[in-house]
C-alpha cells in the first residue's frame, strides 16, 4: 500500500511540526508514505468563500499530485471533507473518483484502514478534545451531540490508548470554535467570542492541552490563548499520537 501524504498549505508553511508528526507516526505504523512535492492546496478556503470556480485550478493540481496513490492521508478533517464533498465541481474522471474515495483524515485512516487504536504513544497530561466540525459532522469521525446515534468517536478511541493521558469532558462537547476560514476575518467579533467561549470551557474542565484533528481550529484557539496569556497548550492530535516519553 502506497500512501500519499497531503499536508494542508497552512500546516506546510506555519505548523510544519504537525506535518512532521504525521509523517513520523505513519512510518512508525509501518506505512510506506510519500509526500508529493508540488502539492499546494485543496481549494477549501476559496470554495468556502464562494469562489469555487476560481479554485478549480488548485483542485486539478491536487488530483495530478495524488492520483497514483492507494490512499491519501491528511492531518485535517476539513481538507479531506472538502475533497470528498466539493470536488464534484471537477469532471468526474477515474482519477478524480479514486482520489475522492481513497482520501482519509489521519485518525480515520489509522482506525478504519490500519485498524489500530494503540499507536504506542505516551502523553501524561490532561487533554481536552476539540471536535472540529468538518471532521465530526462532515466526515462523521464521531457521533455528535445533536443526533440520536449510538455514541462513538475515532479520536477518543485512539487517545484513550495513549499512556498516561487523562481525557477531560467538556460542558459543550462539540460546539464550533468559530474559525470558519475567512469567517474569522469577516465576522471577527463572533469568531473571537466563539473561540473565547471554547477556551473557557476547556479551562473550566481542568484541561492542560487542547487537541483536535484540524490545525485551523487549533491555530485560532492558540492565537487567543497566547494573546490572553492563558494557561493552556494547543497540540494537533498527530503530535500527541506521535509522542513518546
Partner 1 sequence: MSHAKEAELFNNDEAKVNWHDQALWFVRNKRDKAANTVKGWEALRNLASAIKSNVLSNLDNYLIQFEENAQKNGIHIHWAADAKAHNKIVHDILLKNNAKKVVKSKSMLTEECHLNPYLEARGIEVIDTDLGERIVQLAKEPPSHIVLPAIHKTKEEVDVLFQKHLGTIPSNGDPQYLTNEARKHLRDKFLKADAALTGVNFAVAETGGFVVCTNEGNADMGIHLAKVHIASMGIEKIIPQEKHLGIFLRLLARSATGQPITTYSSHFNKPSLGKEMHIIIVDNGRTEQLGREHFRSSLNCIRCGACMNTCPIYRRSGGHSYKATIPGPIGSILSPGMDLKKHSSLPFASTLCGSCSDVCPVKINIHEQLYQWRQIITKDIKQPTVKATTLKMAGRVLANSKLYGFLGKSARFMLKHLPKFIINSKLNTWGKARDLPKVEHDNFEDWYKKRKS
Among positions 47-66, residues that touch partner 1 (CB under 8 A) are: 47-58, 60-61
Shortest Å, Cβ 155 to partner 1: 17
Q: What is the dihedral of CA 6, 11, 17, 22, to 10 degrees?
A: -30
Give the footprint of partner 1 on residues 4-23 (CB under 8 A).
Answer: 7, 9, 11-16, 19-20, 23
Which alpha helices (H) appear in the chain, and where do they start and end? 9-14, 16-28, 44-48, 56-66, 77-86, 94-102, 106-108, 133, 154-160, 183-186, 188-204, 215-227, 237-241
* Grid cell listed for 228: 490572553
Nearer to partner 1, 57 or 124 (CB): 57
The binder of partner 1 chosen from 105, 201, 214, 222 (CB under 8 A): 222
* Grid cell listed for 1: 500500500
Nearer to partner 1, 167 or 192 (CB): 192
For 212, phi then psi, to 5°, come to: 180, 180
Total of residues contacting partner 1 (CB under 8 A): 75
The binder of partner 1 chosen from 100, 130, 168, 220 (CB under 8 A): 220
Shortest Å, Cβ 115 to partner 1: 27
User: Running DSSP on this structure, what letter comes out for residue 61?
Assistant: H
Give the footprint of partner 1 on residues 92-121 (CB under 8 A).
Answer: none
The answer to whether 210 and 234 are in contact (CB under 8 A) is: yes
Nearer to partner 1, 35 or 125 (CB): 35
Cα 196 to its chain centre, rounded Å, is 20
Nearer to partner 1, 155 or 174 (CB): 174
The upper half-sphere exposure of residue 243, i.e. CA atoms within 13 Å in the direction of its Cβ, equals: 19
Q: How far apart are CA 85 and CA 159, in angstroms?
A: 27
Stretch touching partner 1 by CB under 8 A, among 34-42, 97-105, 154-162, 203-211: 34-42
Shortest Å, Cβ 15 to partner 1: 7
The binder of partner 1 chosen from 28, 29, 35, 120 (CB under 8 A): 35
The binder of partner 1 chosen from 100, 130, 134, 202 (CB under 8 A): 134
Shortest Å, Cβ 183 to partner 1: 5
Give the footprint of partner 1 on residues 137-196 (CB under 8 A).
Answer: 137-138, 144-149, 172, 174-176, 178-195
Beta sheet of 103-105, edge-to-edge order: 32-34, 2-5, 71-74, 103-105
Amino acid at each position: 500500500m502506497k500512501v500519499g501524504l497531503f499536508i494542508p498549505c497552512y500546516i506546510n508553511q506555519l505548523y510544519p511540526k504537525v506535518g512532521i508528526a504525521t509523517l513520523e507516526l505513519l512510518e512508525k505504523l509501518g506505512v510506506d508514505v510519500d509526500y508529493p512535492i508540488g502539492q499546494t492546496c485543496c481549494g477549501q478556503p476559496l470554495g468556502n468563500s464562494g469562489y469555487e470556480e476560481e479554485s478549480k485550478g488548485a483542485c486539478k493540481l491536487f488530483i495530478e499530485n495524488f492520483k497514483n496513490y492507494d490512499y491519501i492521508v491528511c492531518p485535517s478533517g476539513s481538507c479531506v471533507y472538502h475533497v470528498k464533498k466539493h470536488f464534484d465541481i471537477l469532471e468526474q474522471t477515474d482519477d478524480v473518483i479514486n482520489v475522492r474515495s481513497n482520501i482519509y483524515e489521519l485518525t480515520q485512516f489509522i482506525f478504519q484502514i490500519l485498524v489500530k487504536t494503540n499507536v504506542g504513544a505516551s502523553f501524561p497530561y490532561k487533554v481536552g478534545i476539540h471536535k472540529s466540525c468538518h471532521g465530526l459532522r462532515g466526515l462523521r469521525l464521531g457521533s455528535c451531540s445533536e443526533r440520536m446515534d449510538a455514541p462513538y468517536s475515532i479520536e477518543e478511541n485512539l487517545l484513550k490508548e495513549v499512556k498516561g493521558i487523562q481525557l477531560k469532558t467538556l460542558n459543550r462537547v462539540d460546539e464550533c470554535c468559530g474559525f470558519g476560514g475567512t469567517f474569522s476575518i469577516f465576522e471577527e467579533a463572533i469568531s473571537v467570542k466563539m473561540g473565547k467561549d471554547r477556551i473557557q470551557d476547556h479551562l473550566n474542565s481542568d484541561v492542560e492541552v487542547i487537541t483536535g484533528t484540524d490545525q485551523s481550529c487549533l491555530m485560532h484557539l492558540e492565537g487567543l490563548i497566547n494573546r490572553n496569556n492563558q494557561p493552556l497548550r494547543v497540540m494537533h492530535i498527530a503530535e500527541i499520537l506521535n509522542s513518546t516519553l
